[in-house]
Amino acid sequence: MPRARIRTAAAAFVGVALLALAPLVGAQQKFVNVLTGGQSGVYYPLGVALGQIYSKAMPDVKVSVQATKASVENLNLIQAGRGEIAFTLGDSLSDAWNGVEDAGFKAPLKSLRTVAGIYPNYIQIVASADSGIKTMADLKGKRISVGAPRSGTELNARAILKAAGLSYKDFAKVEYLPFGESIELMKNRQLDVTLQSAGLGVASIRDLATSVPINVVAVPAEVVAKIGDPAYQAATIPASTYTGQAQDVPTVAVRNFLVTSEKVPEDLVYAMTKALFGNLDQMVAAHAAAKSIRAADAPKGAPVPLHPGAERYYREAGLLK
């Protein structure tokens, strides 16, 4: 066969093959991995609900939900392309964007993009009544758990204790444990107090409060002011949030965000944002903390830029000009 005819036949074969493959390429499976936190916290049940929302709203997308060590790990995973959407605390997000090494970020994570500002985390310092801890001054010499190492909770603990004139050296014992493990040690009288950064009514503290008498320790407004970071705002844990908590307790709150990567396609992030705000009732059913999520506030106050897909949703909804 002449060479010209061979080339023509080969080109025709390649063209047919590409046409045959085109539908497969177009229908290529999309993936969304939702990065959450420990199973005894608030991120996890909200992440499970979010995954269910996405599975229903985007049937062509394969959705998974991953339990993690929360904020710091989530942000590093997003930067590494190992997740499409993640929960994080606002101060950790700011540290990631700026590359604060002591907070767990060896370099600035400039691929991060915001999807939505969501609900506030309340810093909840809870002591067993037997410990005698009633104020922050009483913490000195006690046994405390401050969350997993370099987690958002542990970074919160550093900031708040420093503002109160305390360091880890002032404690008889410091444990770096997730919420559930901290509670088990408190039940067994191996710890006196735990600091947990979570939505109100977090399952771990509810569990503790129904097992042993507790004191919810106040973080006074003057301590909040000394933190010197606008991400930290004075707040209140309402009376009866936990069994045995008879009064309102002043504390500090830090806003949470949902984040993604600039590498996640615009259409996918748009669909994720729209599905979230179209199904907030399912988030509230998963955890009461979601009652604080407001679409009107979602695009505001983030320390990193909005993803174009999220921005497109907010503009269509009339929430951005």
CATH number of the domain where residue 110 is located: 3.40.190.10
Domain of 148, in residue numbers: 121-254
Q: Is 12 exposed, middle or buried (0-12, 13-18, 19+ CB in 10 A)?
A: exposed
Classify residue 20: in a domain, yes or no. Answer: no
- Inform me whether the pLDDT recorded for 9 exceeds 80: no
Residues 66 and 153 reside in one and the same domain: no
End-of-domain residue from the set 254, 277, 305: 254
Domain count, the chain: 2
pLDDT in tens, 143-191: 999 998 888 899 999 999 999 999 999 999 999 999 999 999 999 999 9
Residues 162 and 81 reside in one and the same domain: no
Residues 82 and 165 reside in one and the same domain: no
pLDDT in tens, 292-305: 999 999 999 999 99
Averaged pLDDT for residues 244-261: 97
- Note whether 147 and 153 are within 8 A (CB): yes
Residues 67 and 215 reside in one and the same domain: no
pLDDT in tens, 61-75: 999 999 999 999 999
- Name which of 196, 186, 114 is nearest 151 in CA terms: 196
C-alpha–C-alpha distance, residues 254 and 118, integer Å: 11
Classify residue 190: in a domain, yes or no. Answer: yes
Q: Is 166 exposed, middle or buried (0-12, 13-18, 19+ CB in 10 A)?
A: middle
Residues 242 and 272 reside in one and the same domain: no
Could you give the dihedral angle defined by the CA atoms of residues 13, 23, 31 and 75, in that order, rounded to the nearest 10 degrees? Answer: 60
pTM for the whole structure:
0.83
C-alpha–C-alpha distance, residues 36 and 88, integer Å: 8
- Inform me whether the pLDDT recorded for 26 exceeds 70: no
- Name which of 167, 197, 170, 169 is nearest 182 in CA terms: 197
Classify residue 18: in a domain, yes or no. Answer: no
- Name which of 287, 251, 243, 237 is nearest 157 in CA terms: 251
Classify residue 52: in a domain, yes or no. Answer: yes
End-of-domain residue from the set 208, 232, 254: 254
Of 10-14, 66-70, 98-102, 205-209, the range with the lowest mean pLDDT is: 10-14
- Name which of 186, 190, 198 is nearest 156 in CA terms: 198
Classify residue 14: in a domain, yes or no. Answer: no
Residues 168 and 248 reside in one and the same domain: yes
Residues 113 and 205 reside in one and the same domain: no
Classify residue 22: in a domain, yes or no. Answer: no
- Note whether 148 and 178 are within 8 A (CB): yes
Residues 224 and 299 reside in one and the same domain: no
Task: Quote the percentage of the chain above a pLDDT of 70.
Answer: 91
